[in-house]
Structure 1
Amino acid sequence: MSDDDTPVRDDVYLSGSEGRTYHGSSYMPTAYDNLDVARDDATQPDRGDDEGFRLLDLPRVPRLSHVLGPSAILLGASLGSGETLFWPLLVATHGWDLYWLFLLGVATQFFLNTEIQRWTVATGESIFRGFERLGRVWPLILLVFGFASLGWPGWAAGAARIGTIGLGVEETTVGLGGIGLASWRVLGIALLVLVWLTYQVTPVMYNVVERVQAVLVSLALLIALLLFVVLGSISELAAIPTAVDSVGQLPAGSDIALLLGGIAFAGAGGYLNLSQSLWVREKGYGMGRYQGRIKNPIVGDDPEPVRRGGFTFPPTPTNMRRWRGWWRLVQLEHLLTFVLGLVAVATMLMAVAAEYATGTAESGIAMWTDVVVPQVGVLPEILLYVALFTALLTTEYGIVESFVRNSADIVYELHGRSAGWSLPRLFWTLLTVFTGGGIAVLALPVPFAFDRPFELLVVGAAASGLMMLPYTALLAIMNTERLPEHTQPSWTRLGMLWWATAFFGYFSVLLLGTWASAAGLPQFETDAGVLASEPGGLALFAAAALVVGFVVVRSARAKLASKDTVPGSEQAQGPLH
């Protein structure tokens, strides 16, 4: 490393051959116990009363083509929810008047997801470890929300239903272990077994997830494009500019649970978004390259310990330039992979739904199978079934990965590490229990709610939307109070976090009011116009406003207090830093 004030470019960026080490997961072992502990001052992350950070230089920056992966996994986890089911149904029901809300949701999640990555790139620690430094209760709350939203095989059930309908065997009963099960249940079980098996073929489990998701996402994009072209739905796009007058308005009679689910899943949503932190750590982004990886305890080689305390870098000119390069890379990877892929696939499927299912009252799955399919020819029908099946399978794969990786990290840091558990064994055990539990649910021989999987997807999506309020608020506080000036979000980005807190707070209150009214508590009924809400509903809006106000004051105070505390911090600042 050069310590002078004019670092050369080679001290900042990796060459092409060096950058290939980032294909798949990248890890650089360190003599952890021999490293200096960072000073507890304004130039370093605030450790609070927890373990200190170890000092190392920030790794040099690879090329974009070498680090593509984490956002592709998130895109795959998104395809079978908002982009395939929720938003096409919303546009078919209400027209393009809601398209503005989809774009707003995607833009909001771009800023939110990259801010989720910030703590890990700066310290190597997971987002849950960062939240634990704010209070041990926060990761536990997120774990409960994660189970409520993803702790059942809804997407495997949806993919299986689509697959059996497409093959014409939906009504077939299959004998399994002496029990007669509907064919879609058997296919759902087979898909979960397949997901579990893929993890057993590689020492570093992240690598297989990245590769499988890259293939499935590419296939889904190709099929969606073919479907869009074959059906000639491009003319529907002309209606988008005419819907500009509807910006800021919600259609009367909107299903708030479906709407909040769509907003949360204008992207991956909820618990899934938080996985970005762990995926970029496994990929080796920034200081995450030193932190360790989770290896398969069954087929893996020597384990690589994931440290409890993270890493930080001295604010030298070279490291400042490297941080600027890493942050540019984080944004480009997410924009070009996740955002553009998301908007392209979703818009094409919305156009198909708007053309063939206008005014439908069906569920997301039934809209495609019962309304659209009968109107198209044989080739589009095949493409449609393959597209839906691939999207739902891709999402189920991402959900299994996300739920298990997030939950393993939370449980390990809150209890497992002090109890002497092995993180890889905990991951593998949770993977087996989670997929086994899904198999058990699908194998129930009695009528069950999964006979109507879309309704359960709506509930799970709504729960995902609800959890985005607390963790967005925590992000704004953590990334300003706990990070030093040169790695903090800019005022523009902080403003987007404030906006996201208010955005998800508003729709969460609408949903809670709707649920309360349906449960026989009309005094808590809420209205989209706020002021027309019942007294209890107004109280809910007031509580959400207080949360937003608290977040704004606390994070703005931290941002102002950090000004001019790190000499040369402007060298770390780039576009939308």
Structure 2
Amino acid sequence: MDPDEPRTDGGVADASDEVYASAEEGEEYRDTVYRDIDYESLPEAPETSEYPKTDKGGNYRVTDLPKVPKVSHIVGPSAIMLGASLGSGETMFWPTLIAQNGWGLYWAFWVGVITQFFINTELQRWTMATGESIFRAYERIHSFWPWFFLVAGFIHLGWPGWAAGSAKVVAAGLGLGTDNWAMIGIGLMVLIWLSYQAGPIIYNIIEKAQLALMVLAIVGAVLLIFIVGSAGQLANVPGGALNFGALPQDMDIAVFLGGLAYAGAGGYINLAQGVWSREKGYGMSTYQGRILNPLQTGEGEIETVHKDGYTFEPTRTNLRRWKAWWKITQQEHFLTFVVGLLVVATIAMTITAEFAAGTENGAINMWLMDVIPAVGPFSAALLYVVIFIALFSTQYAILEAFVRNSVDIIFEMYGRKAGWDLNRVFVGLLTLFTLWGIGIIALQLSQPWILLVLGAAIAGVMMWPYNALTTILNTTRLPEHTQPGWARVVAMWWATGFFGFFSVLLISSQLVSRFGLTTFETTVGVVGSGAGGYVLWLLALVVQVYTMYRSAQGKMESSDTVDNADEANGLLA
């Protein structure tokens, strides 16, 4: 087979193929791949248009892009992201919004999901091209950004509302009453911590657990729509899906922005997509080490995660490999994350629209007090199981995402220079965050739904700056052949404007309602806002214009700077 001849099966070729991995090589990705090479002996990438810009950071090392496995071999990062989504937007926020406001809001859900498809895959791009995490990329722009996202991430995810919610579901399902949930919640946090001790490669444990939970949740959801008799509600989906821009007049903007952020995982969790991709071994990440559990490995056993990553020479073979890598990672995210969300969330919405229309309860109480009493015993039992899995899988993924992101930031910004052991930093922060969650649960806070709303709103606001940063990063720091195509650039402009618009409305509502600063009042149509409100809208406009200008400038300046760059282009490159 001609190594330069493009394949159409997206699969594994024979040993003579220069683009696709052999069957044996591809299978290795199921349990993550680490290829240890002599980092110091590799040549440093020159400061030319063929390689990523260093921004005065360390230089990249040049080696070949690995051969490409099948999409089925790399399923994992998006399954964890799906698990993080199910207990937030997909079974909590959006079913509640639809029950309270009707199917007219469904347009915002599917638009949010598709928007997050582009956001998440763009967060993967830098990692695939360099083997570095997105936080290292942000550090190359300015050291402020990793610390900013660490603090915002703690505000977003620091309260274990999902563990409390899943504990309430277990207590209610066992007939213990919803007030007797604290010890169950503490037990679930301990169970999550113990699960990390099941093997030496921490990522592999999380991936397998989340894959199993996702299969159970999806199968359970599909069974439910037929058992409870809510399938007739599907007739309302097309009308709601095309009802673009419609918002109820009395919509709580914090709840709505939370729903937009959680049409997917949202906030700090999305930033883990690149770190999980590195652990799995996507693209150049194959050469970066994985985080090992020091309690399960031998003394001194380590896989090095280099601060400065890798890059590849734009030969025709490497360009074709990049095109194939980009194709399968998009397929993995779409088939796992997007399809999974649309199926499970839509089914959940049909159930709440059928049995809880007009409810004034928060999400968890809506399921426990409105829906479950209205269905038969078998359906109720299955609902308890599916809702528990959704909430528990989300808490599991939240703890994992927070710890993995935060460890990457703390280690690279301080710990590496201080001589810390990356693996021990991970286990240490995992333990501290687990104990923190146990302490919060032990206080038995009475309104976990409020905590979920606040966390979701913060998640939505956080997505505004990192969408802008990622768009600028990928169009001005990456070389022509690994940059996003114009269709993706426009999609990221949309994402930045989308979250910027609703973030301004949220910030305004909080300044007015909590602090009485009526000058910051804003309107959805902009006209009629207060003086301070116009300042907020001006800020959003400046961010949007700057993002569009810098990214367009980067695309145009890099055009025709790499020979045969079009070899790397494909659908939604």
Structure 1: how far apart are the matches of 2:449 and 2:166?
11
Equivalent of residue 235 in structure 2, options 238, 253, 264: 238
In the alignment, is residue 42 of structure 1 matched against residue 46 of structure 2? no
Q: For residue 315 of structure 2, what is the aligned residue in structure 1? A: 316
1:366-420 C-alpha deviation (Å, 9 max, x unpaired): 1111111121111111111111111000000000100000000000011000111
CA contact (8 A) 1:75 1:342 kept: yes
Equivalent of residue 251 in structure 1, options 248, 254, 272: 248
Q: 1:459 to 1:7 in 2, by over 3 A?
A: closer
Equivalent of residue 501 in structure 1, options 496, 505, 522: 496
- Describe how 1:409-428 pairs up with structure 2 within 5 A: 409-428=408-427
Listed as ranges, the gaps of 5+ residues in structure 2 are: 8-12
In the alignment, is residue 207 of structure 1 matched against residue 214 of structure 2? no
1:146-196 C-alpha deviation (Å, 9 max, x unpaired): 00000121110111011101111126xxxxxxxxxx530000000000000
Q: Bigger CA drift: 528-537 or 494-503?
A: 528-537
CA contact (8 A) 1:7 1:318 kept: no
TM-superposed CA distance for 1:440, in Å, is: 1.4
Structure 1: how far apart are the matches of 2:364 and 2:166?
10
Q: For residue 560 of structure 1, what is the aligned residue in structure 2? A: 556
Structure 2: how far apart are the matches of 1:147 and 1:242?
38
Structure 2: how far apart are the matches of 1:240 and 1:20?
39
CA contact (8 A) 1:116 1:276 kept: yes
In the alignment, is residue 65 of structure 1 matched against residue 72 of structure 2? yes
- Describe how 1:312-351 pairs up with structure 2 within 5 A: 312-351=311-350
CA contact (8 A) 1:75 1:267 kept: yes
1:531-564 C-alpha deviation (Å, 9 max, x unpaired): 1322211211111111000110011101100000
CA contact (8 A) 1:38 1:312 kept: yes
In the alignment, is residue 24 of structure 1 matched against residue 31 of structure 2? yes
CA contact (8 A) 1:24 1:210 kept: no
1:287-328 C-alpha deviation (Å, 9 max, x unpaired): 000011100011124110100010000000000000000000
Q: 1:7 to 1:340 in 2, by over 3 A?
A: closer
Equivalent of residue 269 in structure 2, options 266, 272, 282: 272
Structure 1: how far apart are the matches of 2:308 and 2:6?
29
Listed as ranges, the gaps of 5+ residues in structure 1 are: 172-181
In the alignment, is residue 542 of structure 1 matched against residue 549 of structure 2? no
1:496-553 C-alpha deviation (Å, 9 max, x unpaired): 1111000000010110111111121111122222213222112111111110001100
Q: For residue 372 of structure 1, what is the aligned residue in structure 2? A: 371
Structure 1: how far apart are the matches of 2:164 and 2:462?
24
Structure 1: how far apart are the matches of 2:60 and 2:415?
21
Structure 2: how far apart are the matches of 1:46 and 1:567?
18
Equivalent of residue 53 in structure 1, options 60, 81, 99: 60
In the alignment, is residue 476 of structure 1 matched against residue 488 of structure 2? no
CA contact (8 A) 1:199 1:208 kept: yes
Q: Bigger CA drift: 498-507 or 353-362?
A: 353-362
Q: For residue 435 of structure 2, what is the aligned residue in structure 1? A: 436
- Describe how 1:158-173 pairs up with structure 2 within 5 A: 158-170=165-177
Is the partner of 1:163 in helix, strand or coil?
Answer: helix
Q: For residue 10 of structure 2, what is the aligned residue in structure 1? A: none
Equivalent of residue 187 in structure 2, options 187, 190, 193: 190
CA contact (8 A) 1:295 1:424 kept: yes
TM-superposed CA distance for 1:17, in Å, is: 2.2
1:341-364 C-alpha deviation (Å, 9 max, x unpaired): 000000000011111111111101
TM-superposed CA distance for 1:7, in Å, is: 8.9
Q: For residue 178 of structure 1, what is the aligned residue in structure 2? A: none
How many residues get paired?
A: 561
Structure 1: how far apart are the matches of 2:395 and 2:410?
22
Equivalent of residue 295 in structure 1, options 272, 292, 295: 292
CA contact (8 A) 1:91 1:98 kept: yes
Q: For 1:509, give the aligned amino acid.
A: V
Q: For 1:191, give the aligned amino acid.
A: L
Q: For residue 389 of structure 1, what is the aligned residue in structure 2? A: 388
Q: For 1:280, give the aligned amino acid.
A: S
Structure 1: how far apart are the matches of 2:480 and 2:238?
41
Structure 1: how far apart are the matches of 2:469 and 2:239?
38
In the alignment, is residue 571 of structure 1 matched against residue 567 of structure 2? yes
TM-score (ref. length: structure 2): 0.96
Q: For 2:312, give the aligned amino acid.
A: F
Is the partner of 1:470 in helix, strand or coil?
Answer: helix
CA contact (8 A) 1:7 1:317 kept: no
1:180-227 C-alpha deviation (Å, 9 max, x unpaired): xx5300000000000000111211000000000001111111111111
Equivalent of residue 87 in structure 2, options 80, 93, 110: 80
Is the partner of 1:558 in helix, strand or coil?
Answer: helix
Q: For residue 93 of structure 1, what is the aligned residue in structure 2? A: 100
Q: For residue 510 of structure 1, what is the aligned residue in structure 2? A: 505
Q: 1:501 to 1:74 in 2, by over 3 A?
A: same
CA contact (8 A) 2:4 2:316 kept: yes
1:457-507 C-alpha deviation (Å, 9 max, x unpaired): 110011111100010000011001110000000011001111100000001
CA contact (8 A) 2:4 2:320 kept: no
Q: For residue 522 of structure 1, what is the aligned residue in structure 2? A: 518
Q: For 1:99, give the aligned amino acid.
A: Y
TM-superposed CA distance for 1:243, in Å, is: 3.3
In the alignment, is residue 404 of structure 1 matched against residue 400 of structure 2? no
Q: For residue 179 of structure 1, what is the aligned residue in structure 2? A: none
Q: For residue 260 of structure 1, what is the aligned residue in structure 2? A: 257
Equivalent of residue 20 in structure 2, options 4, 13, 17: 13
CA contact (8 A) 1:25 1:204 kept: no
CA contact (8 A) 1:320 1:486 kept: yes
Q: For residue 111 of structure 2, what is the aligned residue in structure 1? A: 104
Structure 2: how far apart are the matches of 1:121 and 1:416?
24
Q: For residue 452 of structure 1, what is the aligned residue in structure 2? A: 447
Structure 1: how far apart are the matches of 2:57 and 2:92?
43
Q: For 2:512, give the aligned amino acid.
A: S
Moved over 4 A (4+): 4-9
Structure 2: how far apart are the matches of 1:309 and 1:18?
26
1:408-451 C-alpha deviation (Å, 9 max, x unpaired): 0000011000111111111100000000111112223xxx5x22
CA contact (8 A) 2:170 2:384 kept: yes
TM-superposed CA distance for 1:244, in Å, is: 5.7
Structure 2: how far apart are the matches of 1:188 and 1:7?
52
Q: For 1:338, give the aligned amino acid.
A: F
Structure 2: how far apart are the matches of 1:213 and 1:300?
23
Structure 2: how far apart are the matches of 1:220 and 1:243?
25
Q: Bigger CA drift: 414-423 or 292-301?
A: 292-301
TM-score (ref. length: structure 1): 0.95
CA contact (8 A) 2:89 2:262 kept: yes
CA contact (8 A) 1:102 1:266 kept: yes
Structure 1: how far apart are the matches of 2:131 and 2:203?
16
Structure 2: how far apart are the matches of 1:535 and 1:396?
41
Q: 1:523 to 1:197 in 2, by over 3 A?
A: same
Q: For 1:471, give the aligned amino acid.
A: Y
Structure 2: how far apart are the matches of 1:35 and 1:73?
33
Q: For residue 175 of structure 1, what is the aligned residue in structure 2? A: none
In the alignment, is residue 486 of structure 1 matched against residue 481 of structure 2? yes
